[in-house]
Every structure is written in structure tokens, then in C-alpha cells.
């Protein structure tokens, strides 16, 4: 397996921390929040998808991908993330878009440096670590929210 295959396999496995939570989620769980936090379960699901799409477009150069990262733009939970079917569809689309563009990377592409205003200059290899840790971080938040959260 080439380098791209290893990165793709690692990303997919790490992402299961997030996707396994989605298997049993119910629409009524989407408004749950932890005490003293601002983000609902629905917001977290939408945010992970928004950031995956941003990575596909801005880091890995997905051609013709249009992204409206509403959670990133608003920088807060607006309370609109309450339709489970829409969230799961959007999340699946984000996953497929990022997977497709990751699969297109050549082994030498991973050494290429990219620069974004969010995290500065990094190689694409470092950036894959960033998206893995981002998703895992929010998967942890989502797990705690689903377990201990309450309606606000």
C-alpha cells in the first residue's frame, strides 16, 4: 500500500470514533448540551462535516467544491441543527468528498506545504493529523453530550 493508502486508512479508522456515535442517535438528542457549554449535539455533527468540507476544498484542493460552513461562519450554535436526516446526509456527503480528494493525493503531495489562516503553514501530512484530531476532539464532546447532556 502506498503512503496515500496508509493515510486514508488511518483517517477512516480514527473517524469511527465519530461515526459510531451516529448509528444510534435520535432526533431528540440533537438539542442536548452539556452544562456550561454552548454547542448542541446537532451543532457538533454539522461542525465536523463543515470542517471536513473545508479541508477537502482548502487543504487538499478539491476542484469545484462549494462549501458554506455555517458553523464556522456563525462561530456559535444557532439552534438550527435539529433535523437528523439532513445532518446525517450532509455528514455522509462531507465524508465522501474528503475521502475522494484524499484518495487522489499522490505520495509526493503529502510533502506539499499549504497555508491557511486557521492553522498557518503545514504539510498535507501534518494537515491530515489536524483533521483526525479535530474530528476525534468533537467526537469526544459528542459522546459526553449524548451521555450526560440535557435540553437547554
| Domain ranges, residue 120 | 3-151
* Tally of structural domains, the chain: 1
The pLDDT value given to residue 31: 97
| Cα→Cα distances 13→6, 39, 43, 115, Å | 11, 25, 23, 26
| Cα→Cα distances 23→17, 18, 69, 84, 129, Å | 11, 10, 23, 11, 25
pTM of the model as a whole: 0.95
**CATH code, domain carrying 126:** 1.20.120.450
The pLDDT value given to residue 69: 92
Give pLDDT tens digits for 80-137: 999 999 999 999 999 999 999 999 999 999 999 999 888 899 999 999 999 999 999 9
Amino acid at each position: 500500500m502506498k503512503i496515500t493508502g496508509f493515510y486514508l486508512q488511518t483517517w477512516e479508522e480514527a473517524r469511527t470514533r465519530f461515526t459510531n456515535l451516529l448509528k444510534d442517535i435520535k432526533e431528540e438528542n440533537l438539542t442536548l448540551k452539556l452544562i456550561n457549554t454552548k454547542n448542541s449535539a446537532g451543532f457538533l455533527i454539522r461542525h465536523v462535516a463543515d470542517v471536513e468540507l473545508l479541508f477537502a476544498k482548502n487543504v487538499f484542493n478539491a476542484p469545484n467544491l462549494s462549501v458554506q460552513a455555517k458553523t464556522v461562519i456563525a462561530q456559535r450554535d444557532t439552534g438550527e441543527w435539529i433535523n437528523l436526516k439532513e445532518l446525517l446526509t450532509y455528514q455522509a456527503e462531507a465524508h465522501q468528498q474528503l475521502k475522494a480528494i484524499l484518495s487522489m493525493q499522490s505520495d509526493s503531495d503529502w510533502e506539499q506545504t499549504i497555508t491557511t489562516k486557521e492553522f498557518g503553514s503545514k504539510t498535507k501530512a501534518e494537515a491530515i493529523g489536524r483533521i483526525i484530531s479535530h474530528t476525534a476532539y468533537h467526537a469526544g464532546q459528542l459522546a459526553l453530550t449524548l451521555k450526560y447532556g440535557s435540553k437547554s
